[in-house]
Structure 1
Amino acid sequence: MNIRILSGTPLFQGIKEQEIEAMLQCLSAEEKEFEKDAYIYRTGDITGRLGIVMEGSVNIIKDDVWGNRKIIENIGQGQIFAETYACLKGEAMMVDVQALGPARVLFVDVKRILTTCPSACDFHARLIRSLMYVLAHKNLVLTKKMDVITPKSLRERVLVYLSQESVKQGNRTVTVPFNRQQMADYLSVDRSALSGELSRMQKEGVIAYEKNRFQIL
């Protein structure tokens, strides 16, 4: 297990690597590997464990009964998922979590974070504060997603999304974590319509792009 990756995650931020090793046993941490497109969680699952992506990335997906797919969020290395459901005891998941490619995930029992262990470890207060930060950050992410899918026109959705990524990556040239179908799912639009709009935007000099790399002109 790569402890260095964990030390850079929001949950373990500010905690020394040697301390993290001791914590993992107390938290019943378990690492698992997943193949490309494998489902980590499915809609309806009930879990008490949050996941930390150690390698690769995963998509949070929402499918409706007609087979339409929406990508809610992409979770990369060092990021956390399923923390809300893990905190809400008995709450069934309303989304799927799927590996975008080969991935390794560390699962942590949230109950062990919120409940003081018999050995009276002194790190619980720090972990609870960190977990609150993670939950607040996820709320911000969902707010940004609403900003993306609220505009009625496809072009506005593309520009809002690319603008967010530009601020996030600190550059007017950005690399998005999606292929064209996944980007369409994230924006809640048709793939062919998205491809057509991107082509028009490039011809008009609004953007330039090649595969998943975009430049805002």
Structure 2
Amino acid sequence: MIEEIGGARLKKSDFIGINECFKPIEREYKRGEIITTYSPENDTICIIKEGTVYLTTDNAENQRRIISFYEKGDIIVTCIVPESDNRIFYLSAKTNCKIDFVKYSKFTACCEKHCSKHQRIISAYIKKSHKKSLAHTDILCQQTLRSKLLTFFEYIKTEKGKNTFYLPLPLSDLADYLSVDRSAMMREIKKMNEENIIISEKRKITVIEDLSE
């Protein structure tokens, strides 16, 4: 069981009785399946128990864009969407997934017992969601391809607490997440290897230099 979500540490005992609060419905999805679409009418919270999920949309040229990615322990609210005509945001299973579905109204309303675990889950979701959105915005605002990569690596390195880590996304999907050309991204990663800034072995990255300097 995940014990920490977005910096808010959850005790294992906090998860005891969560079913009593939320009464979730568990569903399983195969790799590549569409889980659900975002809509103001979609009164749903998704709690990922296993697997990796992408939030994606298509741009004006019908090219896929990865808005965010979610892993075990993440909570997704599917009824909060930006005002956009004819734009569809949808969740898809990158890997085989197991997901709990909870009514948004149950998630946001305190249960009858006003239990601390319920409040901690909501607090953890708000903190992690805000942190994830700010991180992606910061990455996209970088002016060069190298800066985008270095900023992304710095966030992952800080999250994992070590200089060597595995990317949470395949490289082809990372290009979509960064909104860059994949071939150009691969050339930049090769240059960074040659300049001894990083060592990359497919999805395994070792940061040699201090990227914060």
TM-score by length of 1: 0.81
Q: After the TM superposition, list the runs of 4 or more consecutive aligned residues in structure 1 that deviate by more than 6 angstroms.
A: none
Mapped to 2, the partners of 1:121 and 1:12 lie a distance apart of 21
Q: Aligned in 2, Cα 1:26/1:173: closer, same or farther, shift over 3 Å?
A: closer
Mapped to 2, the partners of 1:18 and 1:169 lie a distance apart of 23
Q: Aligned in 2, Cα 1:150/1:18: closer, same or farther, shift over 3 Å?
A: closer
Q: Aligned in 2, Cα 1:183/1:115: closer, same or farther, shift over 3 Å?
A: closer
Q: How much does 1:208 deviate?
A: 1.1
Unpaired segments ≥5 residues, structure 1 = 87-91
- What fraction of aligned residue pairs are identical, expressed as a percent? 21
Instruction: Kindly indicate whether the alpha-carbon contact (under 8 Å) linking 2:38 and 2:90 is maintained by their aligned counterparts in 1.
Output: yes
TM-score by length of 2: 0.83
What does residue 107 of structure 1 align with?
101
Aligned CA-pair RMSD: 2.9
Mapped to 2, the partners of 1:43 and 1:18 lie a distance apart of 27
Q: Aligned in 2, Cα 1:137/1:156: closer, same or farther, shift over 3 Å?
A: same
Mapped to 2, the partners of 1:49 and 1:216 lie a distance apart of 39
What does residue 177 of structure 2 align with?
186
Mapped to 2, the partners of 1:127 and 1:201 lie a distance apart of 45
What does residue 89 of structure 1 align with?
none
Match among 10, 13, 29 for residue 10 of structure 2? 13
Q: Is 1:133 paired with 2:151?
A: no
What does residue 202 of structure 1 align with?
193
Q: CA-to-partner distance for each residue in 1:108-128, whole Å, 9 max, x for gaps?
A: 1221233456xx3342x6424
Kindly tell me the number of residue pairs found equivalent between the two proteins. Answer: 204
Match among 108, 119, 144 for residue 153 of structure 1? 144
What does residue 27 of structure 1 align with?
22
AA in 1 matched with 2:73? G
AA in 2 matched with 1:35? K
Unpaired segments ≥5 residues, structure 2 = 209-213
What does residue 168 of structure 2 align with?
177
Q: How much does 1:84 deviate?
A: 6.3
